[in-house]
Amino acid sequence: MSLYFASFSVFRGPIGSGNSPGKSGMKFEKLRLIQEESPRPAAENMAIDETLFLTAAYPVLRSYRWVRPSVSFGYFTPWSEVALPYAGRDLVRRWTGGGIVEHGQDFTYSLICPGNKSLPTTMELYRLVHLAISNILLESGCQVEMVPVSDPVRSSACFEKAVQFDLKLRDEKIAGAAIRRSRKGLLLQGSIQRLEVPAQFEVLLAGALGEQVDVSVVSDLMTEQAAHLAKEKYGAAEWNCRR
């Protein structure tokens, strides 16, 4: 048994898009759940994710809200693609890749996984997380489907195109994510849009991903560290306008 994962056949029932029901999945042995009810500025949300990534001792699932309508955009996205089209919103460059994502009415979450060798491949983890989301939504009556092949559409807007293992409802993308992986571990930042998730969705998701779930909060020390990072990095033009 690895430090962070145990093999576990946890995903059962129809999952759509040609995947086999009951295919062996994985569960974290221990998962920390942080549910943030109070909204935060865009820069601070990104800073807390990075601070968790750099300091977490074991996997963390965090759900969070936005104090104002915001747009996050991938690490490689040119500033010119967001500056005018989304003027008037809080704009922040993510540490992860991916496209442009509008926030405010969505369910936003992050998954932080320390370590590297013990983790599944990036695409396998992407699939497992979206598979867990799919099963929860299916049980609530939403007939979502997992995308088997990436859309041929070219767009910098994340929810105008679906990549493999994204989720769709009535042919519209409703769930996507972006990932950064390094020697330190893996950070996944995800969004669910165009539908209302079931009550206590983050609790259901944590239970699907972790064998043991510990509910926690962002500490005062971490908030202080994140505030400094938000000011020096995610709220600075040098970071957001750099491309």
Q: Which CATH number fits the domain that encloses residue 111?
A: 3.30.930.10
Contacts (Cβ under 8 Å, ≥6 apart) of 18: 148
142 in active site: no
Q: What's the pLDDT tens digit per position in 162-199?
A: 999 999 999 999 999 999 999 999 999 999 999 999 99
Length of the chain: 243
Cα separation, 129 vs 15, whole angstroms: 12
The residue type of 144 is V
Cα separation, 19 vs 134, whole angstroms: 12
Quickly list DSSP for 77-139: --THHHHTTTTTSEEEE-SS-S-EEEESSSEEEEEEEE-STTSPPHHHHHHHHHHHHHHHHHH
Name which residue leads in pLDDT, 26 or 194.
Answer: 194
Residue 32: what pLDDT?
98
Q: Which pTM was predicted?
A: 0.89
Structure tokens at 218: 């962002």
Query: Predicted confidence band at 144 (pLDDT cuts at 50, 70, 90)?
Result: very high
Residue span of the structural domain in which 68 resides: 5-240
Domain count, the chain: 1
Q: What's the pLDDT tens digit per position in 96-114?
A: 999 999 999 999 999 999 9
Task: Exactly one of 113, 142, 158, 241 is catalytic; name it.
Answer: 158
| 66 and 47 Cβ atoms separated by less than 8 Å | no
Residue 25: what pLDDT?
57
Look at residue 141 and tell me whether its pLDDT is greater than 70.
Answer: yes
Average pLDDT of span 4-22:
31
Compute the mean pLDDT over every residue in the chain, rounded to the nearest whole number: 89
